[in-house]
Structures are given as structure tokens and as C-alpha cells.
């Protein structure tokens, strides 16, 4: 009866772990990696091209109050994003870009909807 318990204690206390703890050690990402979207609000021209081209309807245009008045800018629902980069390709001023960030830990998927002010 104590054999399995003793073996479990030995393994858990004396042997090296087989997994790495997140985010202590991060694997290097390839150059072609596509992660979280970033928006440069100053150069966005509110053309809605990103929302129109998005195949999964991840991007919706919402009203944002800026120092120049009301402007329509992209809001991203990261829970639906395919990371296809079509929005980045079609953006005329190149204000919407994909980064290498991949931190999406959350308990509530509503937190994955990112307003334009938070896409930096």
C-alpha cells in the first residue's frame, strides 16, 4: 500500500520537473509568427477595410473619442481571430499590424474583445 505513495513522493520531491513554468521560459518565435494585433490610432483613417476583409468577422468598427473628435476605429475580438493577416495587408496606412505577443490567459472570453484604445 505504501509503495505507490512512496514512489510518488520520491518523484515529486527529488526528481527534476519535465515541464517548464510559464512565463519563466519562453521559446523563441519564428519570424513568420503572427500574434496579437496592434493599432496606431494616430495614423488610422477609419476606412473600415480591415473589418470588411476579415473572414471571421473578428474586427468591428466602433466609435472612439479622440483629440480630433469622434472617429470610427477597429475593435478586435481575439477569441475569433484566425491570424490570417488579411487586415494587415489591406490597411492603407499600415496602422494595423500583427505582433509577436501571444498572452491570451483569461477566465472570461469577453476580456478577449479589445477596444481600439487598448490595441497598442
Per-residue pLDDT of 31-42, as tens digits, reads 888 888 889 988
- Total domains present in the chain: 1
Q: What is the CATH number of the domain that holds 73?
A: 3.30.70.3270
Confidence of residue 10 (pLDDT cuts 50, 70, 90): confident
Domain assignment present for 5:
no
pLDDT digits (tens, 9 = 90+) for 53-94: 999 999 999 999 888 788 999 999 888 889 999 999 999 999
Residue 14 lies in a domain: no
Residue 60, in any domain of the structure: yes
DSSP per-residue letters across the chain? -HHHHHHHHHHHHHSPPSSPPTTTS-PPPPTT---SEEE-TTT-----HHHHH-TT--EEEEEEEETTEEEEEEEEETTT-----HHHHH-TT--EEE-S------S-GGGGEE-GGG--
- The domain in which residue 89 lies consists of 29-118
Higher pLDDT, 51 or 6: 51
Is the pLDDT reported for residue 2 higher than 80?
no
Amino acid at each position: 500500500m505504501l509503495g505507490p505513495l512512496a514512489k510518488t513522493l520520491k518523484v515529486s520531491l527529488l526528481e527534476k520537473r519535465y515541464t517548464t513554468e510559464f512565463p519563466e521560459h519562453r521559446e523563441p518565435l519564428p519570424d513568420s509568427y503572427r500574434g496579437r494585433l496592434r493599432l496606431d490610432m494616430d495614423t488610422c483613417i477609419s476606412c473600415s477595410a480591415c473589418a470588411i476583409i476579415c473572414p471571421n468577422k473578428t474586427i468591428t468598427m466602433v466609435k472612439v473619442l479622440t483629440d480630433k473628435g469622434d472617429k470610427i476605429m477597429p475593435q478586435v475580438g481575439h477569441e475569433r481571430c484566425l491570424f490570417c493577416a488579411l487586415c494587415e495587408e489591406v490597411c492603407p496606412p499600415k496602422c494595423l499590424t500583427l505582433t509577436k505577443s501571444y498572452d491570451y490567459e483569461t477566465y472570461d472570453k469577453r476580456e478577449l474583445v479589445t477596444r481600439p484604445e487598448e490595441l497598442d
